Amino acid sequence: MALLEVREVRKTFGHGGAEVPAVRGVNLEIDHGETLGLVGESGCGKTTLGRVIVGLEEATAGEIAFDGEVLDGKLSRPEYRRLVQMVFQHPAQSLNRRMRIATTLAEPLRLLPTATSSEVAAKVNEALRLVGLGPDYLGRKPRQLSGGQQQRVAIARALMPNPELVVLDEPTSSLDQSVRGRIIALLRSIQRDRNVAYLFISHDLSTVRRIADRVAVMYLGRVVETATCQEIFENPQHPYTQALLSAVPSLDLDNRRERIILEGETPSPATLPVGCSFQNRCPLVHDRCRREQPSLVAIGDTHSVECFAVTDGTPS
C-alpha cells in the first residue's frame, strides 16, 4: 500500500470573475521512504499541488489518502498535519524573524500530545543535531544565519513532529551550488535514518536527478509522464519531457542531447483548448489530440505517459 495517494485532485481559483484551473485531475502515489520528484515549468501547478497535499489549500475536487485512510474520513486534519510537513523555497520568509531558533523548533510540538519542557528541549536539540547544527544556534534569530543554515533550520522544524512525508518546495533553488549539494546530502541522510518520504518539487532537473527515485512531469496542471528517475532521464517519452531534458546543461559531449525548441505559446490556464493542452506546441500533434484529452496510460511496469502518439501509436 502506498503511503500517499492523490486521486483525481483538482484545484481551481477564482480570477476576475472567472475560474482558473491550477491542478486538473492529478493522480499520484508516493511509497514509504521514497522520493518523488515533481518537475515542470513555472506556473504548471507544482506548488499548488504541494500545498493541497500538505493541507494548506483545499482541493476543489478529488481526494487524498494517507496509509489507506482518506483525509477527512477516518483521518482527521490535525492528525494529517502532524504526519505531513512542508519545507518552503525561501527559508528567510518561512521562518519568523522575531523568534529564536529554539522557539521556532518547539512550535510544531503543539501538534503532539503535551510534553514536558525537558522533553521538548531534548527533541529540539536532537533536530538540530540531525541537520548538522550545534546547540549554540538555539539562541540565534534567522537573520544571524546564512541561507544554508536557515534552510537546515526549516528542515529541522519540519522534522519535529516526526512526519512520514515531507513536501519540499524548491528547497535548494535560492542556495548556491555548493550549499545546494550539502542540503541534498543532508536530506538523503535523514531519509536513510528515518525512512521519511519526500515530494521534491523543483524546476532544476539536475538536482532532481540526484535525489529522486521516481519523477512526475507536470504541464498546465496535469501530470503528463511518470517513471523511475533513470527511465525519465534516459528514455523520456512525452514530447514535453524530451524538450525539458534537452535544455539541461551537460558536460558529457558524447551524450549531450540535441536542444528541442518548442514552437507556439503556452496557453492560458483560463482558456485551455479542447483536447490535449500541449497540442499547439507538440511536434506529434494529430486531429485526435484536438478532440480528446489523453489520459495517463502505463507503457511499462514503472512508466506512464499522457500522449496518444506514444500510447496508441500515431493517431489517425
210-253 pLDDT, tens digit each? 999 999 999 999 999 999 999 999 999 999 999 999 877 654 54
Q: Which phi and psi angles does 33 have, rounded to 5°?
A: 70, 15
What is the identity of the amino acid at 24? R
User: Would 248 be classed as within a structural domain?
Assistant: yes
Q: Which residues contact 35 (CB under 8 A, 6 or more apart)?
A: 191, 197, 198, 199, 200, 211, 212, 213, 214
143-196 pLDDT, tens digit each? 999 999 999 999 999 999 899 999 999 998 878 888 889 999 999 999 999 999
> What span, in angstroms and rounded, lies between the C-alpha atoms of 163 and 140?
25
Q: Which residues contact 255 (CB under 8 A, 6 or more apart)?
A: none
User: Would 48 be classed as within a structural domain?
Assistant: no
- The answer to whether 199 and 211 have CB atoms below 8 angstroms apart is no
User: Would 256 be classed as within a structural domain?
Assistant: yes
> What span, in angstroms and rounded, lies between the C-alpha atoms of 105 and 294?
45
Averaged over 50-66, what is the pLDDT? Answer: 94
User: Would 250 be classed as within a structural domain?
Assistant: yes
CA angle 31, 36, 37 (to 5 degrees): 175
Grid cell, residue 267, equals: 496557453
Q: What is the largest CA-CA distance in the chain?
A: 70
Total domains in the fold of the chain: 1
- The answer to whether 38 and 200 have CB atoms below 8 angstroms apart is yes
User: Would 275 be classed as within a structural domain?
Assistant: yes
Mean pLDDT (the chain) is 90
Closest CA to 167 of 18, 30, 311: 30
Per the structure, the complete domain to which residue 283 belongs is given by 241-316
> What span, in angstroms and rounded, lies between the C-alpha atoms of 229 and 204?
14
User: Would 54 be classed as within a structural domain?
Assistant: no
pTM: 0.92
HSE-CB at 292 with a 13 A cutoff on CA atoms is 12
User: Would 257 be classed as within a structural domain?
Assistant: yes
User: Would 12 be classed as within a structural domain?
Assistant: no
CA angle 99, 105, 110 (to 5 degrees): 105
